[in-house]
């Protein structure tokens, strides 16, 4: 291959641990995660019990799909603070549609209410994402301010739509709704199966399609992308729409597991989600990140939370520790890049 | 026949007249230096030729036909490639990813098209070999030296059969050894029959590789003559205005 053809006199190949996956923050955090899991399993016999593992898997699936979405946005050098609110409004819209259709007696065939409700929920998310993306890509507003605004707007709409009360999915499709959101297939939570499928898809798209390459290029040097013919604005809008869809999907799953969509669903989740993405190696400056990192970041946060509970540590320490890990993860990456120049 | 001809091109930005009736021709395979002080209109001229700006007046002829270049993509389709001053590279991507950015090679599966990593890498290796540059196709641009980055930016222009390459300050930010490397690259482009317009502040570079030099001052062309019939002193005088025209 390329390597054997190019024998250069003074341009040496960097060692394998200095490039590719091994040189990424994601690899370091994965290593930390493995060490942590090993230490936990020694410290607590319950940690690796099937019940606890299933617990962890379900809990991190709650934020992981949204983390995949926000990772895309972060790779382009943007940010989406409205994911928590989008989760709530999508879940609420889905529930309200089921309630409304039931009240209207509209049920032409089994599953019809569920399909319409999901269309409404995902449609809501897509509209939020499009509005964010349009404002950021076309009107050139700052991603931080734009999505800070939509965080408030969307949460406000959720309260307006529900008068601050929770809404529960009802009607003939309720059992089906619960099955596809909080059910299990062969003992594995379906939310985890969705997560794995979406992560594989995201990996494929990011690494093996021109669109994925354009996402990285925009994060690396947006001006260069424009000059070389990358459709920068279109890709940015698509990325924000996908991020909102992922958040909406995650919100709907949570509402299934809770059995209702409270108006304060996923309040302040955006910070945990951004934290998970950053711990997993997504760089807020843009250009770096991936599906594996997003999931590893989510697992790490959940393992720490779970471990602290098992170790009977005051749960109030949780946030402090997660904060320390965010800083530690970027510090390790900083030292590494200083060393290799 | 002239490859590119500018006839009375002018450009205004509001009240500022950046270019004033500029006319010149570029022949196939010719290396022309474009010199001038800051604000003389060099960059504006390059941006008009590469499709970023539209001229306010005058016309461009490419291959003898009137050309309206509305975008960088359109310039590329005509066969005009540009190496931008800041090189327009994405640091977080590999050399071959940068070369093929915006025109990736893909396998077609309906709407889902996958990248042809190997084919793109192989082509990039070929291009670097052609340019005699020690640059690895799958290295990240972030890890590269100034000369290697320049090679990536130039390799990008060799992807299609470009007939004219505009180079905006290609030697501004690199070391002495790398300057020699870049000038070597320009010679090889000429050997391949490609015309080059070299925009530079560096007198030695222009005199080392160019056959002809065009000097701009305050938006107007003040000189257009063979390098053999000029001298660095004369060009300096033309740039500063000590010499009115030549």
Q: Which of A1, A9, A220 to mutate to test the interface with B (most CBs of B within 10 A)?
A: A220
Task: Report the distance separating Cα A295 and Cα A284, nearest Å.
Answer: 17
Given pLDDT bands bounded at 50, 70 and 90, which one contains residue A18?
Answer: low
Determine the CATH number of domain B4-88+161-240: 3.40.50.300
Task: Report the distance separating Cα A95 and Cα A82, nearest Å.
Answer: 20
Using the predicted structure, report yes or no on whether residue A325 has a pLDDT greater than 80. Answer: yes
A287 vs B73, B92, B125: nearest CB: B92
pLDDT (average), residues B107-124: 87
Given pLDDT bands bounded at 50, 70 and 90, which one contains residue A9?
Answer: low
Q: pTM value?
A: 0.88
Task: Report the distance separating Cα A310 and Cα A42, nearest Å.
Answer: 12
Tokens 């800070």 locate to: A148
- Residue A229, chain B, CB below 8 Å: the answer is yes
Rounded to the nearest integer, the mean pLDDT of chain B is 88
pLDDT digits (tens, 9 = 90+) for A29-49: 899 899 989 988 888 888 888
**φ and ψ at residue A13, rounded to 5 degrees:** -75, 135
**3-state DSSP helix/strand/coil percent for chain B, to nearest 5?**
35, 30, 35
Using the predicted structure, report yes or no on whether residue B129 has a pLDDT greater than 80. Answer: yes
Q: Where are the alpha helices (DSSP H) in chain B?
A: 42-49, 72-78, 95-99, 117-130, 146-157, 176-191, 203-209, 232-240
* Domain range list for chain B: 4-88+161-240
pLDDT digits (tens, 9 = 90+) for A238-272: 999 999 999 999 999 999 999 999 999 999 899 88
pLDDT score for A341: 45
Tokens representing residue A246 in the block = 């992922």
Question: Does the distance separating the beta carbons of B88 and A227 come in below 8 Å?
Answer: yes
Question: Does the distance separating the beta carbons of A223 and B102 come in below 8 Å?
Answer: no
Tokens 């009360």 locate to: A165
Burial (CB count within 10 angstroms: exposed 0-12, middle 13-18, buried 19+), residue B20: middle
Looking at per-residue pLDDT, the higher value among A4 and A90 belongs to: A90
pLDDT score for A323: 84
pLDDT (average), residues B66-75: 87
Tokens representing residue A332 in the block = 């390790």
User: Which chain A residues contact residue B140 at CB under 8 A?
Assistant: 19
pLDDT score for B154: 85
Burial (CB count within 10 angstroms: exposed 0-12, middle 13-18, buried 19+), residue B242: exposed
pLDDT score for A4: 39
Question: Does the distance separating the beta carbons of A225 and B93 come in below 8 Å?
Answer: no
pLDDT (average), residues B210-220: 92
* Angle, CA of A273, A276 and A281, to the nearest 5°: 130
Task: Report the distance separating Cα A41 and Cα A44, nearest Å.
Answer: 5
* Structural domains of chain A sorted by starting position, each given as residue range(s) with its CATH number in brackets: 24-339 (1.10.3470)
Using the predicted structure, report yes or no on whether residue B172 has a pLDDT greater than 80. Answer: no
């Amino acid at each position: 291959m390329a390597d054997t053809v190019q024998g250069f006199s003074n341009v040496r190949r960097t060692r394998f641990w200095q490039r590719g996956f091994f040189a990424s923050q994601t690899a370091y955090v994965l290593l930390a995660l493995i060490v942590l899991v090993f230490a936990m399993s020694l410290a607590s016999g319950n940690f690796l019990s099937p019940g606890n593992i299933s617990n962890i898997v379900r809990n991190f699936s709650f934020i992981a799909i949204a983390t995949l979405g926000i990772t895309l946005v972060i790779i382009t050098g943007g940010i989406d603070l409205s994911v928590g609110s989008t989760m709530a409004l999508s879940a609420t819209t889905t529930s309200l549609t089921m309630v409304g259709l039931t009240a209207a007696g509209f049920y032409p065939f089994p599953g019809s209410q569920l399909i319409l409700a999901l269309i409404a929920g995902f449609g809501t998310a897509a509209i939020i994402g499009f509005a964010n993306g349009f404002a950021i890509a076309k009107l050139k507003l700052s991603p931080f301010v734009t999505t800070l605004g939509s965080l408030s707007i969307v949460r406000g709409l959720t309260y307006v739509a529900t008068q601050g009360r929770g809404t529960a999915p009802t009607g003939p499709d309720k059992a089906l709704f619960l099955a596809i959101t909080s059910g299990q297939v062969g003992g594995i939570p379906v939310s985890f199966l969705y997560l794995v499928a979406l992560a594989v898809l995201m990996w494929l798209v990011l690494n093996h399609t021109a669109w994925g390459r354009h996402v990285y290029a925009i994060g690396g040097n947006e001006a260069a992308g424009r000059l070389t013919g990358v459709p920068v604005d279109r890709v940015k809008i698509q990325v924000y729409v996908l991020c909102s869809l992922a958040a909406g999907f995650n919100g709907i799953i949570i509402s299934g597991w809770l059995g209702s969509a409270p108006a304060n669903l996923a309040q302040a989740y955006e910070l945990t989600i951004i934290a998970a993405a950053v711990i997993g190696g997504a760089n807020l400056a843009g250009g770096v990140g991936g599906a594996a990192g997003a999931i590893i970041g989510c697992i790490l946060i959940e393992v720490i939370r779970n471990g602290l509970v098992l170790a009977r540590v005051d749960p109030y320490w949780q946030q402090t520790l997660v904060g320390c890990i965010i800083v530690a993860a970027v510090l390790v990456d900083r030292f590494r890049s200083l060393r290799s120049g | 026949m002239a490859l590119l001809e500018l006839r009375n091109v002018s450009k205004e930005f509001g009240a500022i007249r950046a270019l004033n009736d500029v006319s010149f021709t570029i022949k196939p395979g010719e290396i022309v230096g474009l010199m001038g002080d800051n604000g003389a209109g060099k960059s504006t001229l390059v941006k008009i030729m590469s499709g970023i700006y539209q001229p306010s007046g005058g016309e461009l002829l490419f291959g003898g036909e009137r050309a309206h270049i509305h975008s960088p993509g359109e310039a590329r389709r005509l066969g005009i490639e540009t190496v931008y001053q800041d090189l327009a590279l994405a640091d977080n991507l590999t050399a071959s990813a940068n070369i093929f950015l915006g025109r990736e090679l893909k396998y077609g599966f309906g709407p889902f098209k996958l990248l042809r990593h190997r084919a793109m890498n192989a082509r990039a290796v070929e291009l670097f070999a052609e340019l005699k540059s020690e640059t690895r196709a799958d290295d990240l641009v972030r890890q590269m030296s100034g000369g290697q980055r320049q090679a990536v930016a130039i390799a990008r222009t060799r992807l299609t059969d470009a007939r004219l390459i505009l180079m905006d300050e290609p030697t501004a930010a690199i070391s002495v050894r790398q300057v020699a490397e870049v000038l070597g690259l320009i010679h090889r482009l000429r050997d391949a029959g490609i015309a080059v317009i070299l925009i530079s502040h560096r007198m030695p570079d222009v005199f080392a590789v160019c056959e002809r030099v065009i000097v701009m001052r305050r938006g107007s062309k003040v000189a257009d003559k063979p390098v053999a019939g000029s001298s660095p002193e004369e060009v300096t005088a033309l740039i500063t205005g000590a010499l009115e025209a030549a």
